[in-house]
Amino acid sequence: MNAVMVERSSPGAHRSEIRLHAAMRRRQGYIAEGLLVIVLALSFGVGLAAVHVFLSPIIAANKENETRGVIPRLVPGAAAEASERLEAAGADGKPYQVYRAAAGDGSLKGWIILAKGQGFADEIELVIGVDRACEKLTGIFVLAQKETPGLGNYIESGPRFTDQFPGKPTGTPLQVQKEKQTLDHHVKPVTGATISSESVCAIINQAMASLRSELARRAEEAESAP
Amino acid sequence: MAHDQPTALERFVNGILPENPVYRQLLGMCPTLAVTGAMKPAMTMAGATAFVLIMANIMISLMRGLLKPHLRILVFTLTIATFVTIADRFLAAFMYDMSKQLGPYIPLIIVNCIIISRCEICASKQSLFTAVSDGVGMSMGFALALASIATVREVLGSGTWFGLTLLRSQGEGGWWPAWGIMVLPPGAFITLGCLLGLVNWIQERSAKRQRARA
């Protein structure tokens, strides 16, 4: 079609026509080159979305199983089967997944809260155990993390980090303290992974700030109920 | 150009031993050192890498006519990242324990040089069949290398192989003093170094023998 156009035009316009033609071809080249990447990105995106839709319920069920498995470890006296899952709206309006951790006879032993937030590399997902009135932590468990292997991943696999949380107060925000942990709310970070350690504390602090009063109220209700 | 490239069969055979990605090319050292403490994670890693490598080779070979020199690395990375994400989600859904144990090492397959080097060397230049046989050969070579290191480390370090007890360790009332260091990172370096030396020594000896025969 372009060739026909060039033929029809007058000889004087011929040269500029060719130049225009070359520029158009070049521009088309750019678009064609970019097109491959754009089309690939879009189709891979659709493919990944399909995989996600198909697999995410199974992954969620796996996580739920694991969370239930750690309930007895995080809330002393609670049984995994007797505990029930419920939704609780935080003070900031964000919905949290909460488990009512109960003993075999159904009596309330404490609460399990699922919380997540940004870590150093990727999102960190925590399972937090608190006592009945939500005054003290009874334990934490790292459900998912992708922190640096050999440094940040010790928030999960280094027992000395998670072991310090039982007994910590929920009223004062936890604080990472490298040298001496003199106060109750001081947390000893993992060596070489200050950011990961601070992220864990920040996730706990946020969850506590928004859920503390709500859980305490529910515990009181349960107590006053016959 | 095509006639001086190795054939599909050569690609396949080369991947296993003559051009073994770990022992001959020294590529993919991160998973080689990090997940070979026991057979099970090592074989899961080898399987995930094989899936990504073969699928990436297929995709790149299919669109090799459309690739532009300055955009090829971008396309390689895009393709590899997609299949790594699929492998990661798949493991999280069906092999949850393994997925937790391997943690960030599965997403790190994206930066495994073996895969991008195969895309660059073979898949972006050769036919689909050659690319697939190259991917299968290289995956087998990688699995073989991981298995050899993991076998040494698991047997010496815990007295087990694939979780089966071979040498009863002292902790379980047996006689074998499980060498804990073999399961820890130093054991990975020691094992890799020794096996690499062994492979080089065998190579040297067979080369000498061939020279003597000639």
Total of domains in chain B: 1
Is B93 in Cβ contact with A55 (below 8 Å)?
yes
This prediction's pTM: 0.80
Q: Which element (helix H / strand E) includes A143? A: strand A137-144
Q: Which residues lie closer than 8 Å to A173 by C-beta, 6 or more apart?
A: A185, A201, A205, A208, A209
Give buried/exposed letters for B67-102 (b at 16+ CB in 10 A, else e): beeeeeeebbbbbbbbbbbbbbbbbbbebbebbbbb
Chain A, window 53-112: residues with a beta carbon less than 8 angstroms from a chain B beta carbon = 55-56, 58-59, 62, 66
The angle formed by the CA atoms of residues A54, A56 and A60, to the nearest 5 degrees, is 145
For residue B3, the model assigns a pLDDT of 57
Residue A167, chain B, CB below 8 Å: the answer is no
User: Which residues on B lie below 8 Å from A36 (Cβ)?
Assistant: 63, 66-68, 71, 75
For residue B1, the model assigns a pLDDT of 47
Q: Which residues of chain A have pLDDT under 70?
A: 1-13, 29, 225-226
Task: Compute the nearest-CA separation of B36 from chain A (Å).
Answer: 14
- Neighbour tally for A184: CB within 10 Å: 12
Q: Where do the DSSP E strands lie in B96-210?
A: 160-161, 164-165
Q: What is the pLDDT of residues B144-184, one digit of tens each?
A: 999 999 999 999 988 889 888 888 877 777 788 878 888 88
Nearest residue in A to B78, CA atom? A41
Nearest to A187 by CA among A171, A204, A170, A164: A164
- Cross-strand pairs, A116: A125
For residue B92, the model assigns a pLDDT of 93
For the stretch A183-190, contacts whose Cβ atoms lie closer than 8 Å and that sit 24 or more positions apart, written own/partner, are A188/A160, A188/A161, A188/A164, A189/A161, A190/A151, A190/A152, A190/A154, A190/A155, A190/A158, A190/A161
Is B79 in Cβ contact with A36 (below 8 Å)?
no
Q: How far is it between the farthest Cα atoms of chain B?
A: 64
CA distance A101 to A32: 59
User: Domain range holding B198?
Assistant: 2-213
Chain B, window 145-184: residues with a beta carbon less than 8 angstroms from a chain A beta carbon = none
For residue A13, the model assigns a pLDDT of 63
Q: What is the pLDDT of residues B118-135, one digit of tens each?
A: 999 999 999 999 999 999
User: Which residues on B lie below 8 Å from A44 (Cβ)?
Assistant: 78-79, 82
Q: Is B154 in contact with B160 (CB distance < 8 Å)?
A: yes
For residue A12, the model assigns a pLDDT of 59
User: Which residues on A lie below 8 Å from B89 (Cβ)?
Assistant: 51-52, 55-56, 59
- Neighbour tally for A82: CB within 10 Å: 16
Q: Which element (helix H / strand E) includes B96? A: helix B96-102
Nearest to B46 by CA among B129, B106, B94: B106
Phi, psi of B193 (to 5 degrees): -60, -50
Is A146 in Cβ contact with B104 (below 8 Å)?
yes
Mean pLDDT by 10 residues, chain B (214 residues): 77 91 92 92 96 96 89 93 96 92 90 94 93 96 96 90 84 79 90 95 92 86
Output the DSSP codes for A84-103: EEEEEE-TTS-EEEEEEEE-
Is A62 in Cβ contact with B78 (below 8 Å)?
no
For residue B176, the model assigns a pLDDT of 83
For residue A47, the model assigns a pLDDT of 96
Residue A52, chain B, CB below 8 Å: the answer is yes
- Neighbour tally for A112: CB within 10 Å: 25
CA distance B21 to A92: 53
Disruptive mutation site among A26, A54, A58 for chain B (greatest number of B CBs within 10 Å): A58
Q: Which residues lie closer than 8 Å to B188 by C-beta, 6 or more apart?
A: B32, B33, B34, B36, B37, B149, B153
